[in-house]
Copies of this chain bind each other. A is one copy, B any other.
Amino acid sequence: MFPRHKTREIFVGKVGIGGDNPISIQSMTNTYTQNIPETSRQIEQLAAAGCEIVRVAVPNKEAAEAIPKLVQASTVPLIADIHFDYKLAVASIEGGIDGLRLNPGNIGSYQNVLKVIEAAKPKQIPIRIGVNSGSLSPEMIKKYGVTPQALVESALEHVAILEKAGYYDMKISVKASSVPFTLAAYRLLSQKVDYPLHLGVTEAGSEFSGTIKSAIGIGTLLAEGIGDTIRVSLTADPVKEVAVAQHILRDLGLRKGLEIISCPTCGRTEIDVIGIAAEVEKRLQKYADADLKVAVMGCVVNGPGEAKEADFGIAGGKHQGIIFKKGEILKTVPENKLIEGLLEVIENYQNEN
């Protein structure tokens, strides 16, 4: 449905990004990286939640020294987030890191860039160039103002440095905390390069606000075929970022997974749709990766018909309800047996398939 913008393929460890690879999900730890047990635990929590690439901050030598053990313990590729100090980048590569986030214009000199690339090249370690609206240089602001164009030009300056050094294993992000700004920057960038793009809205806010901002920003771009890997930024437990990212991909049909449709309640509803939908969602979590569409509908009259594209569903009447499969009624049960009945038919079906 969305013709995807063609990009080059790079690899962060085993995870292909760009080209025909599926859109991948990233997040970042918020532990002190040098605290190896805590950082490893969080990496595994993220991986278990469906995060495919995890970034860790490497602000100092201690963090860089933790990389080998973190890499060894991790089931997913790791990226080191580096600012200013090229030695931390080189140390991270030597420590077995799978990717870098580093802006080559910010590490002191072109000589330093060459040292990083010398270490990165044999292992094809990709580098993400990540600029954001808050960190534009005064020169860039003078030339273009704080605009999407300034953000893109800033990214392209960093890109040019890597290209000058003959290095092309890169992806790019141009994040802003404003959604329209972010959309404009990525749209412009995608016309100018064929490197894979890493999407995100930066400093998006709390779990609630940030979820909405990220869903609009990332979702709109993906719906235009722009973007190869995504990171939802929330001021919250990073595991929640992964849940939101998965929903965004599923909702756009870019990834298979459980989808629960449920009607808003209205003056016609005769069962507790809110409670039942929440309970069904909770109890079906074990099928989160299944290609399964389940409906929870308020009324028997419209329910099965309106939700006939669902694999299974329930619809409520007065003190009782029906369980249906692809729009066909399987049985009628009392309201308090609806959830059990639905789970039973889904479990039977899943076991058979």
Contact = CB atoms under 8 A, between A and B. Distances in A.
A261 B205 contact: yes
Nearest to A203: B261
A268 B180 contact: no
15 contacts: A1-B180, A28-B264, A39-B267, A57-B266, A63-B267, A81-B266, A134-B305, A134-B309, A180-B223, A180-B252, A205-B262, A209-B281, A219-B219, A219-B220, A235-B265
Contact of A251 (B212, B251, B260): B212
The 3 nearest A-B residue pairs measured at CB:
A134-B306, A216-B219, A57-B267
A202 B309 CA distance: 13
A161 to B, nearest CB: 21
A178 B224 CA distance: 16
Contact of A308 (B134, B233, B244): B134
A227 B305 CA distance: 27
Interface string A129-146: 000111100000000001
Q: What range describes how many residues of A lie at the interface?
A: 35 or more
A58 B235 CA distance: 42
Contact of A260 (B56, B81, B205, B263): B205
Contacts of A132: 306
A211 interface: yes
A338 to B, nearest CB: 15
A42 B28 CA distance: 41
